[in-house]
Amino acid sequence: MVKIDKLKEIILKKKERVAQNKLLLPEEELKLKAQGLTPARPFIEAINKPRQISLIAEIKKASPSEGLIRENFNHLDIAKAYQDAGAQAVSVLTEEDYFLGNISYVNEIKNLIDLPVLRKDFILEPYQVYESRFYGADAILLIADLLTQDEIAQFSGIAVELGMDYLVEVHNEKELKKVLKLKGVPLIGINNRDLRTLEVDPKTTEKLFTLIPKDKIVVVESGLKTYQDILFLKILGVNAVLIGTAFMQAENAGAKVNELMGW
């Protein structure tokens, strides 16, 4: 029960933070600020390469399952190392309380590297979609387990209006069916980690991948630790992988990218 309550705890805390942010920067004001910015970088285009598996390299200091992952943490150094190692895109964990992230990292990283940046967080309200664009995100993560079909449609619609791409993450068949009923979702993430128990099962990908139409771009997340893991997914036909912990635990993140991806 404790682990299951962790997700509820994260969501409650996130709602509190969104409420605080709205006091500091009201939604109407934020909407205006999110207009007329430099166009977003094409995230989907960057990770959808024929006959190769792309890497979305993640920047995160901590997680509920691992605790503190990287003590010597400098998001800018890590972002530069990822770009130099050949990553196609970067994911930035911006949740403050359990992942020790910060949304300001997105803008700082965008000013340093040329890769598109995905904001990874628990997006529960339209406010956060506008906020993502305002801080420079090129794409956002939407978690099917936490959102209704209507909310996914609404939030993705706002993202598209703002020129951003979006990744909809699923963990089981029920969530996948919910997402596939929506028209025009181009990018589906299969998360091998159950957000409620925090346990990782690599077989999740095997179960769900065959159920996804061939015209969708598929990203696999969580539990990827070896070149063999990547090779298996490449043979399966997966378009991209999102990896964070394995790189964050390595002393040299860039060298770990080359080792894991076989570049």
pLDDT of residue 6: 82
pLDDT of residue 145: 95
Span 201-224, average pLDDT = 95
- 107-157 per-position pLDDT tens digit: 999 999 999 999 999 999 999 999 999 999 999 999 999 999 999 999 999
Task: Retrieve residue 167's tokens.
Answer: 């990744």
Tally of CB atoms within 10 A around 162 = 20
- 16-56 per-position pLDDT tens digit: 999 999 999 999 999 999 988 999 999 999 999 988 999 99
For residue 263, what are the contacts with CB-CB under 8 A and spacing of at least 6? 85, 86, 257
Amino acid sitting at position 33: K
pLDDT of residue 263: 84
pLDDT of residue 2: 40
Fold exhibited by the domain 2-261:
TIM Barrel (3.20.20)
Largest CA distance in the chain: 49
pLDDT of residue 65: 87
pLDDT of residue 146: 96
Residue percentage of the chain with pLDDT more than 70: 98
pLDDT band, very low/low/confident/very high, at 222 (cuts 50, 70, 90): very high
Task: Encode the chain in three state secondary structure.
Answer: CHHHHHHHHHHHHHHHHHHHHHHHCCHHHHHHHHCCCCCCCCHHHHHCCCCCCEEEEEECCEECCCEECCCCCCHHHHHHHHHHHCCCEEEEECCCCCCCCCCHHHHHHHCCCCCCEEEECCCCCHHHHHHHHHCCCCEEEEEHHHCCHHHHHHHHHHHHHCCCEEEEEECCHHHHHHHHCCCCCCEEEEECECCCCCCECCHHHHHHHCCCCCCCEEEEECCCCCHHHHHHHHHHCCCEEEECHHHHCCCCHHHHHHHHHCC
CA gap 136, 117 in Å, rounded: 8
pLDDT band, very low/low/confident/very high, at 1 (cuts 50, 70, 90): very low
pLDDT of residue 168: 98
CA gap 243, 229 in Å, rounded: 11
Catalytic residues: 58, 60, 120, 169, 191, 221-222
- 144-196 per-position pLDDT tens digit: 999 999 999 999 999 999 999 999 999 999 999 999 999 889 999 999 998 88
CA gap 49, 39 in Å, rounded: 22
